[in-house]
Structure 1
């Protein structure tokens, strides 16, 4: 004859069952599917905070951000300088020349493409697979920036942040980025460096008499007759050091390729200095007969812009222009800037690119650069 379980035993089993259920953050519905409880949702929400980006958008982000993805090349440079260990991918690959200055572990990151620009080709699947905590867009504030960021965030279901960046507000850019990433110690160093460079440039610019201002022509394109004219976003380094952009009276094109001019116009402008975008352009200017009519060529005031790992004048126009200010300022106004270009480059590369250039690298960086 089987004995029935006692009442005390049954009550004990019921209590244990109830305790077990109350400790489980999930519950199962009638079909056997797991449902997240209210407590679990509240816990997830408690692990997030609201961040107000440069477009005024309130975005819910994790309290601790461990993985980030850039939306394009400008964002990639800034994020690499401030938080390379958090990058889960690249907007664009590093150039062959740049790779010598970039740690290999970052070169091997997956590529997502970019959200903006003529080369816009964002790979949503690759970006989602990398599972970044946030996607960060850094650059000029376009008129549609709010709508663009909201659209991308809705499409990919990952918090998407916009942080404004231009040459004049780079210190604020790094401070805002530090606020987002919780990395204020490192970003404050970068912000302070940028502020010191910009303050010096402001002081020099305000102290120059009009008669002291030099004119500069930036030669780009295959023939050196493309230029970033006065008013161009890509020519701000010239303005910042207190020089005049020789390319005046022509439409400024916002793109890096710039405005096409004629040799006749250039001869009329007679710039004091000519900056060559590349070695090929530099050699053409120095050897082609048509360029010899220019006073700058006759006087040897032709220089090749340093381009590794990024162009000092701004291709792309990001924080690389900060070292451009120091290099060009010292080249054109040595009595005002009073600095060593080599020392400035070493300091900048160590702080921003996380590498101290060797003697051979310094020689490469400053080839034909004065």
Structure 2
């Protein structure tokens, strides 16, 4: 009973607040999301909530000032100041509905992997929170269109176009470079011992699959950040010529690690640590920061084919997507373990 009363009070606060924002709630409109659902939303949206980390990174780029809460931590000083003090509600399927109502979001925005379970998850979330929830699909190839849809949804068309064009330009140039590249045999490994791999064809492997010959072929690729567990013997059988170590993995000790010291990539110093700020550049979450990863990893693997200035491109990304004027010292720190020695 106490929980029901708290929820009613929280919803009352939300309704009262909405009543004072007449331009935002005077009329409503129908928005057709990427599940084909027609969702009734306010005509003018001024308060949004991401459903999870992937959504949060994308919304941070286009409308950080409209966010009223977080789905994952955002305390890195490279991120917009306006979001760093927001409450972290965690993944919204685990959220406390009363607390969320007090944040007064007008809409919850879910962006990510097209999965069979998405529709049911969003309907359950709407029933739990009583807040309209929309879904937009996003992959490396379709991210520009996702930004344009968000631009129309949030009345941020000009910013959306800037972001979309950066993604389009980066993706098109990368595809052009790959036409002339002999893809490197590669493993992307995670975990404290480096014995989990981001398997070929998994959602987290999209970028690695695009840029390399991902050797991690397994029977049941897991689409989660912890990847698939493998044995040292399997690593030896794959014997990659290039290895990507997750940050906080065994990059620093790989040369002395019995599981790794005889691997071709380690013997030839062809291994790097994936940049991790403000979020890991290759995945985790597999969101818009992967365009940073695209710029960086293409440059590391195929430098002779790259006709761009990596520092200039990374600096431009931070300006556009994070509102951060990256200094030369900050750039060097970001990539201190991420370039070939």
Residue in 2 aligned with 1:102? Answer: 79
- The answer to whether the Cα contact below 8 Å between 1:240 and 1:325 also exists between their aligned partners in 2 is no
CA shift digits 1:49-83 (9 cap, x unpaired)? 11111111111111111111111111111111110
- The answer to whether the Cα contact below 8 Å between 2:113 and 2:203 also exists between their aligned partners in 1 is no
- The alpha-carbon deviation at position 219 of structure 1 amounts to 1.9
Residue in 1 aligned with 2:102? Answer: 129
Residue in 1 aligned with 2:231? Answer: 262
- The answer to whether the Cα contact below 8 Å between 1:113 and 1:123 also exists between their aligned partners in 2 is no
1:86 corresponds to 2:55: no
Residue in 1 aligned with 2:7? Answer: none
Q: Distance in 1 between matches of 2:96 and 2:333?
A: 35
Once the two structures are superposed, the pairs formed by residues 204-353 of structure 1 within 5 Å of their partners are 204-208=177-181, 212-241=182-211, 243-353=212-322
Q: Distance in 1 between matches of 2:24 and 2:86?
A: 29
Q: Distance in 1 between matches of 2:217 and 2:132?
A: 43
Residue in 1 aligned with 2:144? Answer: 171
Residue in 1 aligned with 2:35? Answer: 55
Residue in 1 aligned with 2:89? Answer: 112
Quickly say closer, same or farther: Cα 1:262–1:155, change in 2 above 3 A: closer
Q: Distance in 1 between matches of 2:24 and 2:297?
A: 51
Q: Distance in 1 between matches of 2:33 and 2:261?
A: 51
Residue in 2 aligned with 1:195? Answer: 168
Query: Helix, strand or coil: the match of 2:250?
Result: helix
Q: Distance in 1 between matches of 2:153 and 2:65?
A: 15
Quickly say closer, same or farther: Cα 1:65–1:288, change in 2 above 3 A: same
Q: How many residue pairs are counted as aligned between the two chains? A: 317
- The answer to whether the Cα contact below 8 Å between 2:244 and 2:271 also exists between their aligned partners in 1 is yes
- The answer to whether the Cα contact below 8 Å between 1:274 and 1:303 also exists between their aligned partners in 2 is yes
Moved over 6 A (4+): 43-46
Per the normalisation by structure 1, the TM-score is: 0.81
Q: CA RMSD in A?
A: 1.9
Q: Distance in 2 between matches of 1:217 and 1:141?
A: 25
Structure 1 gaps, min length 5 = 1-42
Q: Distance in 2 between matches of 1:106 and 1:68?
A: 12
- The alpha-carbon deviation at position 256 of structure 1 amounts to 0.8
- The alpha-carbon deviation at position 158 of structure 1 amounts to 2.0
Residue in 1 aligned with 2:328? Answer: 359
CA shift digits 1:264-294 (9 cap, x unpaired)? 2222212111111024410121332442211
Residue in 2 aligned with 1:12? Answer: none
- If you compute each CA radius of gyration, which structure gives the higher value, 1 or 2? 1
- The alpha-carbon deviation at position 44 of structure 1 amounts to 9.5
- The alpha-carbon deviation at position 183 of structure 1 amounts to 0.8
Q: Distance in 2 between matches of 1:280 and 1:256?
A: 13
Quickly say closer, same or farther: Cα 1:336–1:130, change in 2 above 3 A: same
Quickly say closer, same or farther: Cα 1:112–1:270, change in 2 above 3 A: same
CA shift digits 1:136-190 (9 cap, x unpaired)? 1111122132333233223322221111112221111101111111111001111
